């Protein structure tokens, strides 16, 4: 296939690009390099790379000419960055997705795979793992824009027959992630024997999905035709203090784990519980993420930090 990947130089995008290049797909990456370039040299040499902004409509049309699929992952993210830049976050999401849809229409591209987020569940009450049917509760500009785009894309399925796969990622971690995010940040603190800083009580839970599992799910889902919203989750609930403990152990660190008050601007992100169901993913693809947190963290230590 010929595929345009926006945000393909980022964490998830670079891992997915590498996999798709290795499978023989012809890839164009469009990325503003806001977070640097995480593509390795070999992969970079095998793709068509365009440095640019998804808000540039003409660029999106030109970049996707001749493609069979647009994988639209470009976004502004990271709790503090989004809290400090809500307007730009919204802008990149809404205008970028509008441009992806417009480019697909103009270039007769029949499918868009879009990176949404588990953040749209917000403070939804959960007794069991979150399914796609749960009433969502987006609270931040980032989560609201993601939900808006899911609906916007689905309306293009209804009206124009565009195939749409919206992916609700649950805390992806692994190779190429930068330390805005909790797993690489804790590793960095642990390896320097500095305090590992946990916000609040540390009892808040998340569902951590290893990058290779995430990429596998994406590759399987991109073959679907129709309109889908799909969780990509590990179905395991871990509290942040246990995550800190595990990383400290794996890094063989002498760090203290310290508990500090979360900055006020993080309030809407401080969801008490979040764990996702991957039943729908399994029904659609026969696949579920299987790497346990312990295994994933050991792989990170091995790949990124082994001396």
Ligand X SMILES: NC(=O)c1ccc[n+]([C@@H]2O[C@H](COP(=O)([O-])OP(=O)(O)OC[C@H]3O[C@@H](n4cnc5c(N)ncnc54)[C@H](O)[C@@H]3O)[C@@H](O)[C@H]2O)c1
Q: Is 262 within 8 Å of 222 (Cβ atoms)?
A: no
Nearer to ligand X (CB atom), residue 161 or residue 303: 303
Report the alpha-carbon distance of residue 278 to residue 281 in Å, rounded: 5
Q: Which of 4, 10, 17, 255 binds ligand X (CB under 6 A)?
A: 10
Residue 49 or 126: the one with the smaller Cβ distance to ligand X is 49
Number of residues that bind ligand X (CB under 6 A): 26
Stretch that binds ligand X, among 132-140, 169-177, 220-228, 255-263 (CB under 6 A): 169-177
Is residue 94 involved in binding ligand X (CB under 6 A)? no
Rounded-to-integer distance, Cα 276 and Cα 187, Å? 24
- Specify the stretch interacting with ligand X by CB under 6 A; choose among 49-57, 150-158, 236-244, 294-302: 49-57
Is position 92 an interface residue for ligand X (rule: CB under 6 A)? Answer: yes
The number of angstroms, rounded, from the C-alpha of 261 to the middle of its chain's C-alpha atoms is: 26
Q: Supply the minimum distance, in Å, between the C-beta of residue 193 and ligand X.
A: 27
Query: How many C-alpha atoms does 166 have within 13 Å on its Cβ side?
Result: 24
By beta-carbon proximity to ligand X, the closer residue of 76 and 227 is 76
Residue with Cβ nearer ligand X (82 or 244): 82
9 near ligand X (CB under 6 A):
yes
Q: Which of 20, 21, 27, 74 binds ligand X (CB under 6 A)?
A: 74
Q: Which part of the chain contacts ligand X (CB under 6 A), choosing from 9-17, 123-131, 246-254, 295-303?
A: 9-17
Q: Could you say which residues in the range 23-42 bind ligand X, by CB under 6 A?
A: 31-35
Site for ligand X in 101-120 (CB under 6 A): 115, 117
**Of 73 and 186, which has the nearer Cβ to ligand X?**
73
Q: For 9-23, give one letter per residue: b (16+ CB within 10 A) or e.
A: bbbbbbbbbbbbbee
Pick the catalytic residue: 121, 142, 173, 228? Answer: 142
Pairing outcome for strands 205-206 and 238-239 = antiparallel
- The residue whose Cβ lies closest to ligand X is 10
In the bound complex, what is the minimum distance in angstroms from residue 9's beta carbon to ligand X? 4
Q: Least distance in Å: CB of 195 to ligand X?
A: 24
Q: Does 172 bind ligand X (CB under 6 A)?
A: yes
Cα dist from 93 to 97, 100, 149, 173, 272, whole Å: 6, 10, 8, 22, 26
| CB-nearer residue toward ligand X: 206 or 246 | 206
Q: Is 278 a binder of ligand X (CB under 6 A)?
A: no
Is 228 noted as a catalytic residue in this protein? no
Q: Is 243 one of the binding residues for ligand X (CB under 6 A)?
A: no
Residue identified by tokens 């799909």 is 230
As annotated, the active-site residues are 142
Using CB under 6 A, list all residues that contact ligand X.
Answer: 6-7, 9-13, 31-35, 53-55, 73-77, 92, 115, 117, 169, 171-172
């Amino acid at each position: 296939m010929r595929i345009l990947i926006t945000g393909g130089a980022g964490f998830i995008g670079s891992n997915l690009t590498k996999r798709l290049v290795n499978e023989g797909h012809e890839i164009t990456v469009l990325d503003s390099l806001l977070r640097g370039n995480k593509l390795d040299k070999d992969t970079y040499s095998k793709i068509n790379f365009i440095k640019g902004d998804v808000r540039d409509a003409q660029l999106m049309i030109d970049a996707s000419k001749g493609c069979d699929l647009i994988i639209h992952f470009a976004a502004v993210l990271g709790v503090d960055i989004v809290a400090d830049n809500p307007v730009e976050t919204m802008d990149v999401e809404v205008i970028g997705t509008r441009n992806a849809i417009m480019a697909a229409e103009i270039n007769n591209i029949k499918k868009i795979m879009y990176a949404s987020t588990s953040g749209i569940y917000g403070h939804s009450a959960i007794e069991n793992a979150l399914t796609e049917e749960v009433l969502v509760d987006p609270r931040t500009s980032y989560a609201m824009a993601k939900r808006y785009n899911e609906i916007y894309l689905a309306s293009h399925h209804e009206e124009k027959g565009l195939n749409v796969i919206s992916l609700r990622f649950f805390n992806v971690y692994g190779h190429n992630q930068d330390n805005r995010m909790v797993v690489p940040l804790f590793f960095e603190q642990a390896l320097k024997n500095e305090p590992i800083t946990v916000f609040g009580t540390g009892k808040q839970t998340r569902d951590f999905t290893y990058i290779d599992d995430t990429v596998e799910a994406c590759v399987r889902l991109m073959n679907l035709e129709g309109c889908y919203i799909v969780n990509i989750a590990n179905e395991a609930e871990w509290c942040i203090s246990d995550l800190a403990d595990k990383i400290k152990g794996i890094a063989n660190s002498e760090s203290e784990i310290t508990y500090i008050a979360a900055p006020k601007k993080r309030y809407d992100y401080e969801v008490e519980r979040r764990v996702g169901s991957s039943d729908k993913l399994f029904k659609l693809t026969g696949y579920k993420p299987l790497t346990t947190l312990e295994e994933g963290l050991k792989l990170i230590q091995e790949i990124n930090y082994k001396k």
